[in-house]
Amino acid sequence: MDYTHKKQTGGTGQFAKVQIAIEPIEGGDASYEFVNKVTGGRIPKEYIPSVDAGAQEAMQFGILAGYEMTGVRVTLLDGGYHEVDSSELAFKIAGSQAFKEAARKASPVLLEPMMAVEVTTPEDYMGEVIGDINSRRGQIQAMEERAGARVVKGLVPLSEMFGYVGDLRSKTSGRASYSMQFDSYAEVPRNVAEEIIAKAKGE
């Protein structure tokens, strides 16, 4: 993605040209990487951190409903500058705008935190527990027996776990218990994502 920031308001202006590429970071837990491949002084080294800062700022505010982006590698490939009009600010703006335009063309998706949920319940309530997890867009991962009780393990979106304590107590007459911890991020289903984005836009 090529982007040129150019502004002239009398006197010293603003000029910065950058060419970046963005791609998802495959595997691992890295949320952001910046790679500088500019050679030959096409961009003075003192302006490189500004491009990085601009990209990170754009990531923080995101382009889908204002949600922060994660898991992105930004590679600065080339650019250009002006002896008088270039500055750290100009390159920060160029980095931010280039990232936004590149991200829009990359078809980003919304991600949501998935929680590893473990429910310990008497066997009599297994059906209710499993049905409730499924109704929360959950996925049953395993079922086992432990100390005379049944243990149901599943992955459930964090957004669907609000109110779970009361619901579980109601469905099992207070005889089940549960624990949960963060597991990973997963893509939000298209229909749910459309609702979230529309709500964020006030539609």
∠ CA 155-160-165, rounded to 5°: 90
Is pTM beyond 0.85? Reply is no
Coil vs helix vs strand at 41 = coil
Which tens digit of pLDDT belongs to each residue from 153-182?
A: 999 999 999 999 999 999 999 999 999 999
CA dihedral over 169, 170, 173, 176, signed as positive or negative: negative
Q: Give tens-digit pLDDT for 105-159.
A: 988 888 899 999 999 999 999 999 999 999 999 999 999 998 889 999 999 999 9
What pLDDT shows up at residue 28?
A: 59
Question: CA-to-CA distance for 159 and 181, rounded, in angstroms?
Answer: 13
Cα 2–Cα 28–Cα 38 angle in degrees, nearest 5: 30
Domains of the chain, earliest start first: 2-105 (3.30.230.10), 111-187 (3.30.70.240)
pLDDT at 203: 64
